[in-house]
Structure 1
Amino acid sequence: MEKHISHKFDEDLEQIKNMVLKMGGVVEQQIADAVKAVETADSDLAEKVIRVEDEVDLKEVELDEACTSVLACRQPAASDLRMVLAITKMTRDLERMGDEAQKVAKMAIALQESGSKGYEEARHIGALVQKMVNTVLDAFARFDVEQALEVARTDKEVDREYKSAMREIVTYMMEDPRAITRSMNILWTLRAIERIGDHARNIAEHVIFLVKGLDVRHTSLQEIERRISNI
């Protein structure tokens, strides 16, 4: 990003960038713990995930206030304005990731209370989504469009894996009605994890907007790649 005559302005922008990365780090750990909790039916770890959600909500409010202050006091233009706007949107997606992680954690608690085993089905999709979250935070830290595109590509893989798992689980339910309750719980768990991936892709799109000035929301991956290559 460009440097300014006002060092305080640069410090303000750097501060809100660091606040996003700190919030992202908390959410990233929350997701990892939630997936592990549901795999192992670990209610203690799940309770930790739920408690952390209050911290995530607080960070969202703090970031909103910091962005509002920069907009009001500095009246940024061009790339600086894109920076603040992108961060406000990213913050919202990070908070919603935390909400989905909380849903997964609650499923882990229900598992433990029912005496059931963990959902191994969550392992593969969970690993893909955790990779997306880690990569997109790094993409933002580095203003790296190629990393942002990699997140969008991985999201397509997550969607395929989710649909495949859904078909298998529905077939399993039809063959054994006794497995309906467990199967539905797995579906809800996988759905929450898949939604985290969607929010990671949203953040990737915000990074592209920040760096390239392109609004690529509701745009296919192929079209995003084409538009970037034409710049």
Structure 2
Amino acid sequence: MDITSDSHGKHISQQFNHELDALKTHLLAMGGLVEKQLQDAVTALLEGDSELATRVRDNDKAVNDMQLKIDDECTRVLARRQPAASDLRLVLAVIRATSDLERIGDESSKIARNALSLVENGQSPRGMVEVRHLSQHVRSMVRDALTAFARFDTDLALKVLREDASVDQEYQSAMRSLMTFMMEDARQITPVLNVMWILRALERIGDHADNLAEYVIFLVKGVDVRHTDTHDLKPQDFDKR
């Protein structure tokens, strides 16, 4: 059975309704924190702001704590309520999503650490244009994936999935360019390697946003689209599976 944003909250037990709503609310709060971590990490890098980069690095524990809290809530719901159908899918989707959000937080922390290294060495290497473009792309994917989760919007989730190939192309093009630059100027190897690690972190964040979008489709349609070519997939195709 498909679900919409109004599908939950129909149980006789108001406490159960509250518990399900709380799971979704807390997941989106974690998503908001992770979004800010990503935005601040990229801003710290592009503006050479070591103080901001340090805050991002140190705030990683807050993301981890939120994951543990939400996982504990999910465990209690599973044990006490034994949810079925769309309710079970919601709990499973939240558990999976918190894992990907925690990893986005980890990748944001990596960006911040590499930004600190560059700032401390007074370096502004090649690749900042590529970082800016790729970061804008993956930040949009994360934002859209979380919005899709909030609205149970499979159309928006599909849009996120289709962006992944474009992100991969941007990443590969940027890496080839930086490899060529390093071979031409060996003095730039160390700072450019920092930028390459940042680009790699951004590419992985795109992958995690992709996963979040897949969970939305699983939650709403009950269809697992992992390991599926989603390029030509349309919303109506879900009903044929």
TM-score bin (small chain): over 0.9
Code of the aligned partner of 1:188: W
What TM-score, normalized by structure 1, do the two folds share? 0.96
Instruction: Tell me how far apart the structure 2 counterparts of residues 183 and 169 of structure 1 sit (CA, whole Å).
Output: 7
1:215 aligns with 2:224: yes
Aligned residues, how many?
Answer: 231
**Equivalent in the alignment of 1:78:** 85
**SS of the residue aligned with 1:94?**
helix
Q: Of Structure 1 and Structure 2, which has the larger fraction of its residues in helix?
A: 1
Alignment-derived partner of residue 177 in structure 1: 186
2:145 is the counterpart of 1:136: yes
Query: What runs of 5+ residues in structure 2 fail to find an aligned partner?
Result: 1-6
Q: Encode CA deviations 1:26-75: one digit per residue, 9 max, x unaligned.
A: 00000000111111221101011112211101100000000000000000
User: 2:135 matched to which residue of 1?
Assistant: 126
Over the aligned positions, Cα root-mean-square deviation in angstroms equals 1.4
Question: Which amino acid counterpart does residue 131 of structure 1 have in structure 2?
Answer: S
Structure 1 residue 120, shift from structure 2 partner: 3.6
Mapped pair 1:164 → 2:178: no
> Which residue among 56, 60, 64 is the counterpart of 1:57?
64
Shift of 1:198: 0.5
Q: Match for residue 240 of structure 2?
A: 230
Does 37-46 or 104-113 show the bigger shift? 37-46
Residue of structure 1 aligned with 2:203, choices 194, 201, 206: 194
Instruction: Establish whether residue 29 from structure 1 lines up as the match of residue 36 from structure 2.
Output: yes
Aligned to 1:39: 46
Q: Is the 8 A contact 2:162 2:231 kept in 1?
A: no
Unpaired segments of 5 or more residues in structure 1? Answer: none
Distance 2:211 2:233 in 1: 13
In structure 1, distance between residues paired with 2:75 and 2:239: 33
The CA deviation at 1:121 is 2.8
- Among all aligned residue pairs of Structure 1 and Structure 2, give the percentage whose two residues are the same amino acid: 51
> How far off is 1:165 after superposition?
0.5
Contact 1:155 1:198 (C-alpha < 8 Å) held by counterparts: yes
The answer to whether the Cα contact below 8 Å between 1:121 and 1:186 also exists between their aligned partners in 2 is no
Asked if structure 2 preserves the Cα contact closer than 8 Å seen for 1:49 and 1:102, the reply is yes
- Whether the 8 Å contact between 1:40 and 1:117 is mirrored in structure 2 is no
Q: CA deviation at 1:183?
A: 1.9
Q: Please tell me whether the aligned partners of residues 149 and 216 of structure 2 are also in contact (alpha carbons under 8 angstroms).
A: yes
Displacement after TM superposition at 1:104 (Å): 0.1
